[in-house]
Amino acid sequence: MADLRAEIEAVFSDYEDQWNSQDRGGLMAFWDESDDRPFYLAEEQDDWIVGREGVGRYFVANPDGPSFVEALLMHYRLTDVRPLGDDHAMAIGWVRHDMKLRIPRPAWGGDTRVTAVLRRTEEGWRFVSYAEAHMTPLNYVQKLYEANVTDEFREFHAEVMAREAAESAASTSS
């Protein structure tokens, strides 16, 4: 199992490098060429893309001109990998993306859950299905608020809790 996880993590590492090269045309090399119906769902999509042609168009939407994406930085971190038979595996984890689109708006980023199914081929492990799932707006906003807590408050909170514990211990011993 450790070997399987290392093999799949290596695929995701190489996939990340390909994304970060800004050459999105090279992403199709990570997909099983023998599968003409791969599944792909990015968090911003309304519906699944089914088929090699559609997935390829998603990666390179404007082959004759500049990408709508000015720059994109991806970081994958897998949390678990499990075999699905001898020649398939499933991976789950997270992807961090930061991007700047070619519009007059600032760059933005976020963390998204990922699940993927890969098939072992002669060339190595290749994707057959990939899906990103963002959190519900309520959970996402809660995480933004949690990330915005200052170190000053964390220290203050620890002091309040220590004082409360000391007062409770003193009243118990009396």
pLDDT digits (tens, 9 = 90+) for 90-135: 999 999 999 999 999 999 999 999 999 999 999 999 999 999 998 8
Q: What is the per-residue pLDDT across 58-71, written as a single tens digit (0 to 9) for each?
A: 999 888 888 889 99
Does residue 113 sit in the same domain as residue 173?
A: no
Q: How many domains does the chain have?
A: 2
* DSSP string of 119-140, one letter each residue: EEETTEEEEEEEEEEPPPHHHH
Res 37 pLDDT > 80: yes
pLDDT for 139 beyond 80: yes
Q: Write down the pLDDT at residue 135.
A: 81
**Which residue range is the domain that position 151 belongs to?**
136-174
| Average pLDDT for the chain | 94
Per-residue confidence band for 1, with pLDDT thresholds at 50, 70 and 90 = low
If asked whether residues 174 and 91 sit together in one domain, one would say no
Q: Which two tokens stand for residue 11?
A: 């695929």
CATH code for the domain in which residue 14 is found:
3.10.450.50
Residues 92 and 66 in one domain: yes
Rounded-to-integer distance, Cα 114 and Cα 92, Å: 6
pLDDT at 8: 98
145 and 73 co-located in one domain? no
* Of residues 174 and 138, more confidently modeled: 138
Cα(138)–Cα(142) distance, rounded to whole angstroms? 6
* Same domain as 105, residue 168: no
Give the chain's end-to-end CA distance (angstroms, integer).
57
Indicate if 12 and 87 belong to the same structural domain.
yes
| pTM of the entire predicted model | 0.82
C-alpha–C-alpha distance, residues 115 and 127, integer Å = 11
Residue 109 sits in the same domain as residue 163: no
Regarding whether 160 and 77 lie in a shared domain, the answer is no
